Structure 1
Amino acid sequence: MPYTAEDFLKFIKDNKVNWLDLQFTDLPGRLQHITIPIDEVDESSVKEGFGKLDGSSIKGFTMIYESDMVLQPVYNTLSLIPWSPGVARVLTRVFWGGGKGRFERDPRFVAEEAERVQSEMGYTSFFGPELEFFIFDKISLDVATPQSGTGYKIYAREAPWSSNGGFIIRYKEGYYPAPPVDQLMDVRLEAVETLQKYFGFTLEATHHEVATGGQGEIDFRFSTLADTADKVQTLKYVLKNVAAKHSMVATFMPKPMFGDNGTGMHTHFSLWTKDSKKNLMFDPNDEYAEISQTGRYVIGGILKHARTLSALVSPTTNSYRRIVPGFEAPVYIAWSKSNRSAIIRVPSYFKGIEKAKRIEYRAPDPSCNPYLAFAGLLMAALDGVKNKIDPGDPIDENIYHLTAEKRKQLGIGELPRSLDEALDELEADKEFLKPVFNSSLLDVYIDLKREETKAMQMYPHPMELYYYLDS
């Protein structure tokens, strides 16, 4: 991958690129793009950026009277688009027009600021998200007019309700059937091979996930904060396009169907010295999970701010249909060595391996903006270390089976049960985020999310007719 402007231009020339796709992420987390002819690309524009963006048309960006913005390439994200011959894509940073500097509501800017702050504190961190998703054959969606009502139907070749005579996967039995029961292995492998060949990924695994209806997962090698967020956006982009090539629909929506597991993005996190030579979370003498005191402070910070982080890592109204007991999604604020009913677990597959010591934060789902989610996670962890926040004792039993009284005795809190509740927490608990999340971004983010919740509250739910039509 290119790392300098000269490398960038050489890649363009060597690969006979005719069009350059400039991609960036809006505040809610969706990938946006502008495509320009290659004769617009020269050394000056590659270094200084392309003045092509009307920021007033992008959610969460600017007003119409301050709309001229510049997109500066992130060199090492340049790659060919295999399904569009002659086209290359590159992720970009967003700047104000007129030489006014970096745009403070660019999500990637927040990620870079988080990396700057941790470096000044003497740390570096690594993130390893596990992206889950569904691949459906088709979605039939009816939202044409408010008067006609709303509804949808999922067509999925593996699912019991729409199988075309082939094998089915029963509810909660999708982990890990071999082909031909797993009917989507080839689609996942095509996405994985595309990521490896064209986008520079190091892949670790791909497999079917627990749910029926085409749920899968792709795991890639951990990396630094901004680079990992770039990879999340790239993976989602590639999988959606590969699925579309097969006339299918890939979605990272947290809970698209009732009665089976939702889609999460369990995120592995570790804190190291600035030179990346020592894992500060590893203690070989710790009998419980080889987790150091610093590691415990990391956990303490995340648990303290878990309800606030929900607004960033579970950022849609649909996210809270996933976060319910009984479907492996975290509901309770606790930590453990290998207990998947806790929001944080300390993986302990092997002993004595420093580079493998990490925590798994199980709250995020892939509808989040990864730049904001990872930055928020890092700031909570650093707050824990800075203020020596103790996480309390680990919980080594199934929290779902504990009574409310027992959970209260153990001091186990609960995550918010709605996006509105999570936004309330974010409004009340901003201080730990402020070193990297500016007030402008947070205020606009909260306003956008409040608009989403208000819109959803206005629509009758199909199940409300089932329960209340005879009222």
Structure 2
Amino acid sequence: MRASRSGARPDLPAGANDTVADTPRTPEDVKRLVAEHDIRFVRMWFTDILGQLKSFSVNSTELDDAFEGGMGFDGSSITGFNAVEESDMIAVPDASTFAVLPWTPKEEGVARMFCDVHTPERTPYEGDPRYILRRAIKRMQEMGFDSFNVGPELEYFLFKDSREPEPLDEGGYFDLTALDAGSDVRRDTALALEAMGMKVEYSHHEGGPSQHEIDIRYADALKMADDCMTYRLTVKEIAMQHGWHATFMPKPLTGENGSGMHTHLSLFRDGRNAFYDENDRFFLSDIGKAFIAGQLRHAREMSAVFAQWVNSYKRLAPGYEAPVYVAWSRRNRSALVRVPLYHPGKEQATRMELRCPDPACNPYLVFALLLHAGLDGIERGYELPEPMERNLYHLSPDDRRRLGIEQLPETLGEAVELAAESELVLRALGEHTLDRFVEIKREEWEDYRVQVTRWELDRYLPVL
């Protein structure tokens, strides 16, 4: 197993595992923790429309002003935000998201808070991904549900550097051998995640060479979207400390599995799982069935959001464990949706697993869209078809057509046009965000479409 090039380990704060119990809730809590941990700078985090993390730092002495009036910034420089003539934005910190960054120095250290983006009129900015998710949660609450729990499983690769996808090992799924060069990196990453308030449940080598997964405990959708952003940065920071490069690129290696973000979803009402029904043969309530039916009915038009990059569709291809056929099952992992088998006494764990998102998505937009799709299913009474327990990859195209099984878009270009015409995506994202998202993604697809690739030169130049 290869040691860290620098010989250093993350400088985790004392009592890292106690951080969850010390979750701040008010500005006063934050100021107390700043004093206790000797925090000099606080980074204000938010995301652009594509889910890229943005940040600026304020001196901890400025926290009173930050909490009282927010901190202004130029939104015209943020992808998908307003144009220069409407560029003034205000970042309003969320005290409950305060956490010390464990890879920064202990003395005069650094912490972070996620921010909600407001306009100068002190109203939520309609293009803020966090606000878009808040709006979806409000719709859920108005329908009588308490919480939307989300449990994503983010996979990633560790490479020697950011220039070429050169793996560190040839290990496989759950391997525990000298082939797994990432064991120490995973350990240090898990400790850093727990220091920032996330409970790590599993960590292991994934199926591809130098591919890894660290699973964090489910949470309500807004916290989990924040946690996903934190997770991605933490993985990259700790990998860098070891001298490696971590990437959430969906398909970096030709001929190997890509990285997915299998996402577990459930709704709760009055403290009980709204998906569970002890009298149903699948142990699914009508609400659970309609919610899943909503995911299936709208999967194609949502694809541009949960798989938002040109490279995403290199992963969503038959034969590499990535689901592309719109169906559900209980055991069959070739289906888009899997409903884990019910275990007696585990009613609260009843859930669905959507297997098509990838870890390079914008989690705020994805969770908002998935929630709207499920709520549409409940409101409109969508019927859930029978489960498909056969391996869908082994069915012929004629068999799939006969069974009414659709396929996800094969390219980003196809996916974007479906999203552009979708009433569901419009409702979830709003006109402002959808227009900007479609514009950006059409440009990305067109830029990719006209490129002459190495594959084309090798195949055609000698013979044509």
Common fold: TM-score over 0.5: yes
Give CA-to-partner distance per residue, 1:256-282, whole Å, 9 cap, x none: 110100000000001221x3x221111
Q: Is the 8 A contact 1:70 1:96 kept in 2?
A: yes
Corresponding residue for residue 210 of structure 1:
207
- Read off the aligned partner of 2:326 and give its amino acid letter: I
SS of 1:394's equivalent in the other structure is coil
Matches within 5 A, 1:12-411: 12-42=34-64, 44-51=65-72, 53-85=73-105, 86-97=109-120, 99-123=121-145, 124-140=147-163, 153-158=164-169, 168-169=170-171, 174-197=172-195, 199-212=196-209, 214-273=210-269, 275=270, 277-287=271-281, 289-348=282-341, 350-411=343-404
> Residue 268 of structure 2: SS of its match in structure 1?
strand
Question: Residue 350 of structure 1: CA displacement?
Answer: 2.4
Q: Which secondary structure does the structure 2 equivalent of 1:131 belong to?
A: strand
Give the drift of 1:458. 2.5
- The residue type paired with residue 382 of structure 2 is I
CA apart distance, 1:70: 0.9
Secondary structure at the residue paired with 2:162? strand
Please tell me the residue identity of whatever aligns with 2:158.
Answer: I
Identical amino acids, percent of aligned pairs = 39
Q: Secondary structure at the match of 2:272?
A: coil
Q: What secondary structure, in the 3-state scheme, does the structure 2 residue paired with 1:89 have?
A: strand
8 A contact 1:125–1:269 mirrored in 2? yes
Distance 1:309 1:259 in 2: 26
Structure 1 residue 246: Cα displacement: 1.1
Count, aligned residues: 437
Q: Which amino acid is the alignment partner of residue 286 of structure 1?
A: D
Deviations 1:380-415, CA, capped at 9 Å, x for gaps: 001111111112111010000011111111110000
Counterpart position of 1:416: 409
Q: 3-state SS of the aligned residue for 2:186?
A: helix
Q: CA deviation at 1:223?
A: 1.0
Q: Is 1:138–1:156's contact at 8 Å kept on the other side of the alignment? A: no
Equivalent in the alignment of 1:3: 25
Could you give the per-residue CA deviations for residues 431-467 of structure 1, whole angstroms, max 9, x where no partner exists?
x344442101110111111111111123211111121
**RMSD (CA atoms):** 1.3
Supply the distance in 2 between the matched residues of 1:336 and 1:357 (Cα, whole angstroms).
Answer: 14
Aligned-residue offset at 1:352: 4.4
Q: Distance in 2 between matches of 1:429 and 1:301?
A: 14
Amino acid at match of 2:376: D
- Write out per-residue CA displacement over residues 47-102 of structure 1, whole angstroms, 9 at most, x where no aligned residue: 43112x110111001111222211111112211122222111111111112x3411
The CA deviation string for residues 88-135 of structure 1, in whole angstroms up to 9 with x for no partner, is 1111111112x3411110000001111111001111211000000001
Counterpart of 2:175, as a letter, is P
CA contact (8 A) 1:139 1:155 kept: no
Q: 1:18 to 1:295 in 2, by over 3 A?
A: same
- Kept in 1, the 8 Å contact 2:301–2:425? The answer is no
For residues 97 and 104 of structure 2, what CA distance do their matches in structure 1 show? 17
Amino acid at match of 1:108: R
Aligned to 1:165: none
Farther off after superposition, 381-390 or 72-81: 72-81
- SS at structure 2 position matched to 1:138: coil
Q: Equivalent residue of 1:35, what SS?
A: strand
Render the CA deviation track for 1:359-381: whole Å, top value 9, x for unaligned: 00011001110000010001000
**Conservation of the 8 A alpha-carbon contact between 1:325 and 1:331:** yes
- Mapped to 2, the partners of 1:70 and 1:179 lie a distance apart of 50
For 1:104, give the aligned amino acid: E
Give the secondary-structure state (helix, strand or coil) at the position aligned to 1:130.
strand
- Partner secondary structure for residue 333 of structure 2: coil
Structure 2 unpaired stretches of 5+: 1-22
Q: How far off is 1:229 after superposition?
A: 0.3
TM-score, normalised on structure 1? 0.90
TM-score w.r.t. the length of structure 2 is 0.92
Query: In 1, distance between residues paired with 2:402 and 2:305?
Result: 29
Distance 2:190 2:411 in 1: 34
For 1:20 and 1:126, the matched residues in 2 are separated by: 28
